[in-house]
Structure 1
């Protein structure tokens, strides 16, 4: 290549230019220092920026050296993904680890979406992120405390071991009482070993900033059980297998970009080939595993088992006015927010997943048919590539329109009445589209048999006549055994030599719209590839109610509302009135 004949500076420029030309969403910032040399180079690809937007709760950062012959340091920003692994969201190479260079790296990060970050693992950057909680890696805290306690202080081996234990216990203190006890133990030990200077150092430099390093102070933050920067250290170890202190700058940049390309390919292929099966799971956990990863499902499974075992031990105090529940256990109490599926316990705050208290309440309450629903799981933990149906079907956020005030009311959930109206529109839209299918052969070859379970839940059995196959479908996977028995009975009573199979998609994520899914299931069987084939018609020739139907249908099939033509409430009322008058005349 031409790059072989270029010096290191021109080769770096060629690598950066090629990276920017690959995708319009790739971003690179080059900052020049006062000396005239390149002070900092920051780059982030489209995949990095999308990862940062999807997992904004926790951001890890660290720097490493000995990656190039110019002694530039590599600063990497990383988030925690749905597999429990670290995912790089930005690389910055700068001349030295100074305030100016760090500011330039953070400026590049701010241009993405810094306001979404809630926890940040670093120091010296609080002024750049005033709304962010800055946390320090526990590994580095313990390492630095050991160095500080041993510097200029003498203690015998017994006191040294006791001092290390106290420092460790202070870092991982689970409550204020434990921290206070360990703090007093540290004072007594330092006084006995004649190293009170270290105790005064701790009081002066560490006691007033417990929010950054004590475990108890970060219990209510979404840290996802990540208390060290081990994912970053693992990445640096792999990178240094490719580059070294003798590498050129353009070799370092090429290595980081090549690593990112491999990560993208791994994520794409992992979603395609990974098996989501666990024979030890029951129906509820199997449904969770269908739209999440094994890592997320295992976290929920532990809480699910505890919820079923401890449901009788908890006492629930409901507050109808505030739509909340107080859960009383043996030693502590927690508040449940039913609308937001939130809990004040450490697991719910840290993992953004359903905890044992919420699941125990749903298990004991007769108001709920399922213990776990998809709305209880954070959007970032849901693997959308595994879902054959739109995830946000009955869960939407109302953001203020562009140009509206910041104080606009934002209700993240649909009310029961709104959900009912949405379901009715979907049902009528699907019926109308089925009526437009003119092929009699398709109807002769496929038949749908609705099945009602316990007068509360709709399922379906689809008979494929030509293929001699009976496919049973339960949107929530809670009645598969019953449907299988029904299919076997049908094989005996008329569908001779038919094969019985389970057809589990699309997945229902709520507990009250099974009829919509049954109609959509049958329609998708009759008309294959509906999401690819369906296009919005000319809305100008339709009535207002028909516009609403087509818009909702287009939304659930394509996940967007492009070419949207919204009908006014007056038009809808006029259309509904005219429809009712026609029905009265026909009657």
Structure 2
């Protein structure tokens, strides 16, 4: 189906015209550079090259690809080449503030080195996926050795903790579930004994600042806690790019899909519509006239939090907010 649509869409268009697709990718990044989502997709062509993709959030809250690199593997050398190719095509790369990645990606420190003063955070979707996959392994005692649902809930509570104190409380709860020890608020975290707890402390607790919400309070992530948008854009990209595709067909398909994404974005930009905001005060109504519904919802949430938290000042018989 993709091949038929591509032939109908492209026709006899020249290579120069098709290169316009990559220009649009640069425009998207220049417009929305603050949060960069990165993921690697395997089995996209017969040469077994990995597809290394960069995405941003557009003004409508949808993901848009801004760079693709086909690499032999995920070694530091290949990742460095891909990152530097992206930087050379996007001078505004210095505006990146947050990068969301999958823990499978090799060098976390490499991204911080190449992008300078950025915060690299881990995808919450993949955190849950890895925890479930790891718990299913026989080396941790099999299905009945511990309550996996309770352990997964404990990890989820740690992930959602907004204070380090809360995170530590739920970590101690995991110690109770797996090591059978009851730790008070003042007790220090002891050395883990149960095999899965050892795995968690070694692989996840040591990098808790990259996935726990308490460490993201001052991070401008714009609501991005997962790079799953990468996996759902155009459907699942791995369902479109097949392992038996020739390398040039893989590239050709990527360029076609990018052209489709550009057309869809242009259509959304030109559509005439109207939004009703029942709870909006005068300030929010003015804001709604200036920004997209997605941007409005992001600001509205923070606006009401700030308004509710504002202390009241009493003067005579008047109460001023």
Q: Normalising TM by the smaller chain, what interval?
A: 0.7 to 0.9
Residues 287-316 of structure 1, C-alpha deviations (whole Å, 9 max, x = no match): 3222211122233444556667x48x7247
Q: Which residue of 2 aligns with 1:153?
A: 140
Q: Which residue of 2 aligns with 1:108?
A: 85
Q: Which residue of 2 aligns with 1:436?
A: none
Matched, 1:57 2:55: no
How many residues are treated as equivalent by the alignment? Answer: 281
Task: Calculate the aligned-residue CA RMSD, in Å.
Answer: 2.9
The answer (yes or no) to whether the contact 1:66–1:73 under 8 Å persists in 2 is yes
The answer (yes or no) to whether the contact 1:69–1:247 under 8 Å persists in 2 is yes
Following the alignment from structure 2 to structure 1, what is the Cα–Cα distance between the partners of residues 34 and 313?
A: 30
Q: Which residue of 1 aligns with 2:195?
A: 197
The answer (yes or no) to whether the contact 2:160–2:213 under 8 Å persists in 1 is yes
Alignment of 1:343-492 (within 5 A): none
Unaligned runs of 5+ in 2: 1-13, 182-191, 315-319
The answer (yes or no) to whether the contact 1:276–1:289 under 8 Å persists in 2 is no
Matched, 1:73 2:50: yes
The answer (yes or no) to whether the contact 2:42–2:48 under 8 Å persists in 1 is yes
The Cα shift of 1:157 comes to 6.9
The Cα shift of 1:105 comes to 0.7
The answer (yes or no) to whether the contact 1:277–1:286 under 8 Å persists in 2 is no
Matched, 1:142 2:142: no
Matched, 1:83 2:60: yes
Q: Which residue of 1 aligns with 2:268?
A: 270
Q: Which residue of 2 aligns with 1:210?
A: 208
Following the alignment from structure 1 to structure 2, what is the Cα–Cα distance between the partners of residues 237 and 269?
A: 19
The Cα shift of 1:261 comes to 1.7
Partner residue of 2:22 out of 42, 45, 48:
45
Alignment of 1:237-386 (within 5 A): 237-278=235-276, 280=278, 281=280, 283-303=282-302, 310=308, 314-315=311-312
Alpha carbons of structure 1 residues 222 and 74: separation in structure 2 relative to 1, 3 Å:
same
Matched, 1:133 2:112: no
The answer (yes or no) to whether the contact 2:222–2:298 under 8 Å persists in 1 is no
Following the alignment from structure 1 to structure 2, what is the Cα–Cα distance between the partners of residues 165 and 49?
A: 41
Q: Which residue of 1 aligns with 2:158?
A: 170
Alpha carbons of structure 1 residues 316 and 81: separation in structure 2 relative to 1, 3 Å:
farther
The Cα shift of 1:114 comes to 2.6
1 or 2, which has the higher helix percentage?
A: 2
Following the alignment from structure 2 to structure 1, what is the Cα–Cα distance between the partners of residues 81 and 166?
A: 40
Alignment of 1:92-103 (within 5 A): 92-103=69-80
Alpha carbons of structure 1 residues 300 and 120: separation in structure 2 relative to 1, 3 Å:
closer
The Cα shift of 1:222 comes to 1.0
The answer (yes or no) to whether the contact 1:58–1:80 under 8 Å persists in 2 is yes
The Cα shift of 1:266 comes to 2.2
TM-score, normalised via structure 2 length: 0.77
Following the alignment from structure 2 to structure 1, what is the Cα–Cα distance between the partners of residues 170 and 86?
A: 39
SS of 1:140's equivalent in the other structure is helix
The Cα shift of 1:59 comes to 0.4
Residues 350-388 of structure 1, C-alpha deviations (whole Å, 9 max, x = no match): xxxxxxxxxxxxxx67xxxxxxxxxxxxxxxxxxxxxxx
Alpha carbons of structure 1 residues 251 and 177: separation in structure 2 relative to 1, 3 Å:
same
Following the alignment from structure 1 to structure 2, what is the Cα–Cα distance between the partners of residues 259 and 245?
A: 18
Following the alignment from structure 2 to structure 1, what is the Cα–Cα distance between the partners of residues 236 and 124?
A: 22
Alpha carbons of structure 1 residues 143 and 296: separation in structure 2 relative to 1, 3 Å:
same
The answer (yes or no) to whether the contact 1:72–1:95 under 8 Å persists in 2 is yes
Partner residue of 1:187 out of 175, 186, 189:
175
Following the alignment from structure 1 to structure 2, what is the Cα–Cα distance between the partners of residues 284 and 254?
A: 47
Following the alignment from structure 1 to structure 2, what is the Cα–Cα distance between the partners of residues 75 and 153?
A: 33
The Cα shift of 1:240 comes to 4.5
Alpha carbons of structure 1 residues 75 and 170: separation in structure 2 relative to 1, 3 Å:
same
